[in-house]
Amino acid sequence: MRLVFMGAPGSGKGTQSLVLSNHLKVPQISTGDMLREAVSTGSLGRGFSELMEAGGLVPDDAMVSLVERRTAALDARGGFLLDGFPRTMGQAVALDGILAARNQSLTSVIVLEVATELLVERACLRRTDKRTGQIYHLKYKPPPAGADLAHRSDDFEEVVRARLEVYSAVTAELVPYYDDLGLLAKVDGVGSVADVSSRVLALVDQMMARKRPS
Ligand code: AMP
């Protein structure tokens, strides 16, 4: 399965794509995680990390070559789940081209739907365990005592609002694009992590059942 997981900042995209990648046993390719890793090791240009901190987008050519290389790795041969890519029409068209050159195509694009009012609170109260990478929410999924938590620098309210604007102005146009291609599957992203996971897994299990020859 070659899947794209879409959702606005704070929609639960990272949490749910991790659950799904474990279920399908395909790698979760999170461009945000790859970029944050590159920032922490100093291998990402300073201009790019400033763009991220302000809630903007890293330019398409850098993102496309990152994803082209990562999806060609051995562990992605049997499929992958892209989390946070594509985010622009240019990236979506480039991804189609990369896959077509390998005689491949996307299986499906899942979009997590969450009302905008909920997104700001969700993102601002998100914390990540520095040791395990596990994502918590101070109100809905409190971390265990003693967890060593990080608050992403782009999860403060002003930056979250900027990221939401980028999502609705740029990324949201991918929803009708993938819908026209017959690839889009919408999932209600409101509810507990477990409730949303069971919706996502039920959808993907249905897709796999349809693909299996009878
Ligand atoms: P995320 O963890 O997916 O919310 O991504 C965090 C930040 O990384 C975004 O706000 C962007 O600044 C940058 N980023 C991640 N993926 C992309 C992408 N596909 N295109 C451009 N910028 C990206």
User: 197-207: per-residue pLDDT in tens?
Assistant: 999 999 999 88
Element (H, E) at 81: strand 80-83
Residue 214 has pLDDT above 70, yes or no: no
CB 14 within 8 A of CB 135: yes
Q: How far is the CA of 133 from the centre of ligand 1 (A)?
A: 17
Ligand 1 atom nearest the C-alpha of 56 is 12
pLDDT tens digits along 92-121: 999 999 999 999 999 999 999 999 888 988
Q: Which of 35, 109, 161 most suits a substitution to test ligand 1, by most atoms within 8 Å of the C-beta? A: 35
Ligand 1 atom nearest the C-alpha of 36 is 8
Lowest model confidence (mean pLDDT) among 60-69, 149-158, 189-198, 205-214: 205-214
pTM comes to: 0.90
Q: How far is the CA of 192 from the centre of ligand 1 (A)?
A: 24
Q: What is the pLDDT of residue 213?
A: 63
Residue 13 annotated to the active site: yes
Q: What is the pLDDT of residue 210?
A: 82
Taking each helix axis from N to C terminus, what angle separates 31-41 and 60-71, rounded to the nearest 10 degrees? 100
pLDDT tens digits along 4-27: 999 999 899 999 999 999 999 999
Over residues 179-193, mean pLDDT: 95
